[in-house]
A and B are shown apart, each in its own frame.
Chain A
Amino acid sequence: MSWTLAALFVAVLPHLLFMPAPVSITILALLGWRALAAWKAWRPLPGWLRLVLTLGLFALVLVAYGGMWGRRTATALLCVMLAAKLTEMYRIRDLRLVASVCFFLIATQFLFSERMIYLFYLAAGCLVATMALYQIQQIPPERVERIDRPVAPDPRLTARAAGSMLALALPVALIMFVLFPRLSEPLWGLPEQAMDGRTGLGDFMSPGSIANLFIDDTPAFRATFEDGLPDRQYLYWRGPVLWNFDGNTWRPGYHSDRPAEQPVPITDNSIRYRIQLEPHERRWLLGLDHPVRSSLPESSVTSDHVLVSRHPVTGLVQYDVISTPDFFDTPVLTSFQRRLALSLPEGRNPRTLALGAELRERYGDDRELIASVLRWFSEEAFYYNLSTAPLGRHGADEFLFDLRTGYCEYYASAFAVLMRAAGIPTRVVTGYQGGFWHESGGYLLVRQGDAHAWNEVWLEGLGWTRVDPTSAVSPLRIEQGARSVVSGGRFLLDWPWVRDMLNRYDRLQHIWNNWVLGFNADRQRNFLKRLGLPDLNTLSIAMLMLAGLALVIAPIFLVLLKVRETRPTSAAQRAWMNLLRRLRRRGLRKLPQETPDEFARRIAAEQQTASAAPALLELAQLYSRVHYGPPRQEMSEEFIDRARRFSWR
């Protein structure tokens, strides 16, 4: 009973966190009520009340989820109904039902997240549910009516039994995992709400939008490079390119979705790497400047040289990318592009406009102008930190002349306004910069906190050229990542060792992504090919799986049979078998058809010189009383003690 409640609690816990408060409170209340009822031996609720309760809970879920029918609603309904089942859980049958459904419930968590941490949680939940089932099995038939009082539960023994059961199931699970026929498309669009509560990189940029990501340590993607980690200055992971500025927010251009006009060539400097992208529910895939192509089907490169997928990325994807860093982007700017890259909202930022015009007059050459602005950023008292002060109507003015402190989006935005004011076509690029190089794992981990914004200016003879104003203010940011620049802990648990542990954990997550989540139809086919079984259709794979299951289950079954035959059922029997084993080493073998008494007599007859023979006979007779007689604790203990001390002479 208590174990079943515990199993249910473990199973619903991850769901509770994502439920509307009334629903989760109801579930907890039902759980608590049932535990209390068991403790105080309350009478079961009357049938009509249970019916009313069930209908009420159904309505509650529908109302709480606004009548929307989805995976969240369905699992919430399952949780609530299972909790309601507790009100009529007064028979073994019900206990077994609840404990069994817990297995399913805990597995439903994978509908929402495929993170590895849930695997551990799943294992723990399965263990508790198995322990509950084991305990239910221990309820003797005559106590069926009194399920509330636990039957002398020894948690260690139960845990061991349940653990060994699960361990036996492990090979079966492995076979199922490797050989279960994969569909090239998942049955359901997994997982629906991967970004639960988190934002990730958006397709717009406004003050604070990137700084807010800074505290988010969740991985955005991981990259492995064919030829080792490229230089830091190349690690600009290109996300949405923003053209349109309304005075506060930067948004993509109207033409951004169009495919690239000129293909990016592959040169000697091209970087080849593999990306493992966490689901972010947007269409862009990240790549270094400038992506040539990716191995992902239905992906393309836009005219802004952003790698995009046709569908939002809702599950973990892996793809190979080739990027050419020294690409001459857009040698000739069309007049439309030029107009777009120079447009500024009217009547705003007069001081910046004035500065732009002044700079334009002073410097004839665009490059010199840009260099002077960057110099200005680094020499004047500009600070780089996390402050996300709201900016008013003249945002760029306030930032450049008054505030002078902010995160990368402030610099990118103000710099773009200033450039456009000076007549240089400029756009904002968002994405990620740098990442944590996992030395032992050999991969680069890029977190949401590595989100960054920079600019591209169009220069005659150079095309679109990256300018990162942040690097002028704080070169460390680019060299070592944002965390090394912003001093102090970002949140309560932000100690170095915690960070170190998280990094280590990410290594596991990487392996998990690679080998478990990434084991799709292609990988399965490759695996089978290596086994010498190419070109199997789904049916053959299914047959192969069944055959594998039979191969795995048969030996387990045989071993279990064998173990059951010889497994001692009592401590006394264990001591006796131990004694027999010791005697066997002395060449004294008990025949299976012999009773203990017959064995001892035969030994006494055969080994007349042995002084221990009478003692053995006595011991055998004592064992016979203990093993075959009515149970007597003290006699059993005496036997165990004497058997332990017995030695053959």
Chain B
Amino acid sequence: MTELAAAESTEVPLAGLQRARQTVNSIIVGKAEVVDLAFTALLAGGHLLIEDLPGVGKTTLAQAMALAAGGSWQRIQFTNDMLPADIVGVSIFRRENEQFEFRPGPIFANLVLADEINRATPRTQSALLEAMAEGQVTVDGRTYPLPQPFFVIATQNPLDMVGTYPLPDSQLDRFLLRTSIGYPGPAEERRLLVEPDRRDLLAGLEAVLDPPRIMALRQQAAELHVSEPVLDYIQALVAASRSHAAVHSGLSTRAALALVQCARAHAFVNGQDYCPPESVKTIFPALAAHRLQPVPESGLSDSEVVREILSDVPVP
């Protein structure tokens, strides 16, 4: 690799990352933290779960991410009559050459928007979750790798209980981060009312990044400096989650590793060359809340537990 190419490979993706952020923020107005989380999940190599009411922009966020990130993208609208094959694809018999041929399902894309994932049956859900975990799909004994990067944004509606199959807690930690969007602020909402339809705006978006650049960015994010005090802090947070009285079982070591990775990616997304404790603090609720199950008697929600942990652990 020439020096010029080397310089290009580091400089351009970084600038592209900031531009992609701006692009998404121009679509999802006033939700910079959520956009940061989405990019964090993308660069940390994990998947994002958005839990919120309909109509707050979940799908729009996913579409904007997909468009800005470039590469292929697919949207899967989950329903309760869906089968795993509808997601991963099927082998069909070709009469012309008398062979089975694999027809890849919609999951074969760089970015997959899994809309209302809790509407599908557990069997179908697990087909998606397995693909997310393995980065590959196995059909009729043959394994097909998924494209890189492979990034799933799933949405689910927490209130709509009729005819849904909520994701079991054990499956939830397939998602690196879980977040919600929430209503926009009054000023932003007023702007939305004036501005053209988001769908039209999305149609006019241009891809800023592409899969190779995203892979390069992931690589850089993974190499970000994390100092001893920050690692101490992360370990203290994980330890506090384990000793918290309202929690069945605390965060796993995998979650701790994920926290390091996410804190790096978050700092990287914010253009920093080291990982400050603020990144850990910002990431922690999105990373930990869905992994912790408060005992019902405690009367605490998972996000309240997370808040308590954050306020109990001193920053070294």
* Option from B229, B230, B274, B277 in Cβ contact (under 8 Å) with A625: B274
Whether A628 contacts B311 by the Cβ 8 Å rule is: no
B14 to chain A, nearest CB (A): 17
Q: Counting CB contacts under 8 A, is B273 at the interface?
A: yes
Q: Which residues of B contact A598 (CB under 8 A)?
A: 278, 281
Which residues between 301 and 316 of chain B lie within 8 Å of chain A, taking CB atoms? 310-315
Given contacts A593-B311, A593-B313, contact A630 B225 (CB under 8 A): yes
Q: Which residues of B contact A630 (CB under 8 A)?
A: 225, 227, 273-274
Whether A597 contacts B278 by the Cβ 8 Å rule is: yes
Q: Counting CB contacts under 8 A, is A624 at the interface?
A: yes
Nearest-CB residue, chain A, relative to B281:
A595
* Option from A569, A592, A594, A628 in Cβ contact (under 8 Å) with B276: A628
Q: Which residues of B contact A283 (CB under 8 A)?
A: none
Whether B313 contacts A629 by the Cβ 8 Å rule is: no
B232 to chain A, nearest CB (A): 10
Which residues between 612 and 645 of chain A lie within 8 Å of chain B, taking CB atoms? 624-625, 627-630
B281 to chain A, nearest CB (A): 7
Whether B315 contacts A593 by the Cβ 8 Å rule is: yes
Q: Which residues of B contact A595 (CB under 8 A)?
A: 276-278, 281, 315
B96 to chain A, nearest CB (A): 61
A639 to chain B, nearest CB (A): 14
B165 to chain A, nearest CB (A): 38
Nearest-CB residue, chain B, relative to A630:
B225
Nearest-CB residue, chain B, relative to A631:
B227
Q: Counting CB contacts under 8 A, is B208 at the interface?
A: no
CA distance A595 to B315 in the complex (A): 6
* Option from B274, B310, B314, B315 in Cβ contact (under 8 Å) with A629: B274
Q: Counting CB contacts under 8 A, is B262 at the interface?
A: no
Whether A594 contacts B315 by the Cβ 8 Å rule is: yes
Given contacts A628-B229, A629-B227, contact A593 B312 (CB under 8 A): yes
Q: Interface residues of B, CB < 8 Å — how many?
A: 18
Q: Counting CB contacts under 8 A, is B120 at the interface?
A: no
Whether A628 contacts B314 by the Cβ 8 Å rule is: no
CA distance A596 to B276 in the complex (A): 10
Nearest-CB residue, chain A, relative to B267:
A628
Whether B273 contacts A628 by the Cβ 8 Å rule is: no
Q: Which residues of B contact A627 (CB under 8 A)?
A: 227, 229
Q: Counting CB contacts under 8 A, is B69 at the interface?
A: no
Whether B281 contacts A628 by the Cβ 8 Å rule is: no
Contact with A along B161-203 (1 / 0, CB 8 A): 0000000000000000000000000000000000000000000
Interface centre among B273, B277, B312 (most CB of A within 10 A): B277
Q: Which residues of B contact A629 (CB under 8 A)?
A: 225, 227, 273-274
Q: Which residues of A contact B312 (CB under 8 A)?
A: 593
Which residues between 199 and 230 of chain B lie within 8 Å of chain A, taking CB atoms? 225, 227-230
Whether A628 contacts B313 by the Cβ 8 Å rule is: no
CA distance A201 to B310 in the complex (A): 80
Q: Counting CB contacts under 8 A, is B275 at the interface?
A: yes
* Option from A594, A596, A597, A628 in Cβ contact (under 8 Å) with B227: A628
Q: Which residues of A contact B225 (CB under 8 A)?
A: 629-630
CA distance A130 to B277 in the complex (A): 37
Nearest-CB residue, chain A, relative to B311:
A593
Given contacts A628-B227, A628-B229, contact A597 B276 (CB under 8 A): yes
CA distance A592 to B315 in the complex (A): 6
Contact with A along B268-293 (1 / 0, CB 8 A): 00000111111001000000000000
Which residues between 555 and 605 of chain A lie within 8 Å of chain B, taking CB atoms? 569, 592-598
CA distance A466 to B227 in the complex (A): 88
Q: Which residues of B contact A597 (CB under 8 A)?
A: 276, 278
Q: Which residues of A contact B228 (CB under 8 A)?
A: 569
Given contacts A595-B281, A595-B315, contact A628 B310 (CB under 8 A): no
Q: Which residues of B contact A625 (CB under 8 A)?
A: 274
A625 to chain B, nearest CB (A): 7
Contact with A along B221-243 (1 / 0, CB 8 A): 00001011110000000000000
Interface centre among B274, B281, B311 (most CB of A within 10 A): B274
B269 to chain A, nearest CB (A): 17
Nearest-CB residue, chain A, relative to B228:
A569
CA distance A596 to B227 in the complex (A): 15
Whether A592 contacts B314 by the Cβ 8 Å rule is: yes
Q: Which residues of A contact B274 (CB under 8 A)?
A: 625, 628-630
Which residues between 368 and 416 of chain A lie within 8 Å of chain B, taking CB atoms? none
Q: Which residues of B contact A596 (CB under 8 A)?
A: 315
A245 to chain B, nearest CB (A): 85
CA distance A475 to B276 in the complex (A): 89
Given contacts A598-B278, A629-B273, A629-B274, contact A593 B227 (CB under 8 A): no
CA distance A326 to B64 in the complex (A): 119
B69 to chain A, nearest CB (A): 28
B112 to chain A, nearest CB (A): 35
CA distance A595 to B313 in the complex (A): 11
CA distance A596 to B273 in the complex (A): 17
B90 to chain A, nearest CB (A): 51
Interface centre among B227, B273, B312, B313 (most CB of A within 10 A): B227
Q: Which residues of A contact B277 (CB under 8 A)?
A: 595, 624, 628
A237 to chain B, nearest CB (A): 70
Nearest-CB residue, chain A, relative to B226:
A628
Interface centre among B230, B276, B310, B314 (most CB of A within 10 A): B276
CA distance A595 to B276 in the complex (A): 9
Nearest-CB residue, chain A, relative to B277:
A595
CA distance A630 to B281 in the complex (A): 20
CA distance A629 to B273 in the complex (A): 8
Interface centre among A569, A597, A628 (most CB of B within 10 A): A628
Q: Which residues of A contact B314 (CB under 8 A)?
A: 592-593
A258 to chain B, nearest CB (A): 81
* Option from B273, B276, B310 in Cβ contact (under 8 Å) with A593: B310
Q: Which residues of A contact B276 (CB under 8 A)?
A: 595, 597, 624, 628
Nearest-CB residue, chain B, relative to A629:
B274
Contact with A along B100-117 (1 / 0, CB 8 A): 000000000000000000
Interface centre among A592, A594, A595 (most CB of B within 10 A): A595
Nearest-CB residue, chain B, relative to A599:
B315
Q: Which residues of B contact A592 (CB under 8 A)?
A: 314-315
Q: Which residues of A contact B275 (CB under 8 A)?
A: 628
CA distance A593 to B228 in the complex (A): 17
B61 to chain A, nearest CB (A): 27
CA distance A349 to B30 in the complex (A): 127
CA distance A593 to B311 in the complex (A): 6
CA distance A627 to B281 in the complex (A): 16
CA distance A629 to B277 in the complex (A): 10
B252 to chain A, nearest CB (A): 23
CA distance A628 to B276 in the complex (A): 6
Chosen A-B contacts, 13 in total, with CB atoms closer than 8 Å, are: A592-B315, A595-B277, A596-B315, A598-B278, A624-B276, A624-B277, A625-B274, A627-B227, A628-B275, A628-B276, A629-B225, A629-B274, A630-B225
| 8 closest Cβ pairs, A-B complex | A592-B314, A629-B274, A630-B225, A595-B277, A628-B227, A595-B315, A593-B311, A628-B276
- New A-B pairs, 16, CB < 8 Å, besides A593-B313, A628-B274, A628-B275: A593-B311, A593-B315, A595-B277, A595-B278, A595-B281, A597-B276, A624-B277, A627-B229, A628-B276, A628-B277, A629-B225, A629-B227, A629-B273, A629-B274, A630-B225, A630-B227
Residues of B within 8 A of A (CB): 225, 227-230, 273-278, 281, 310-315
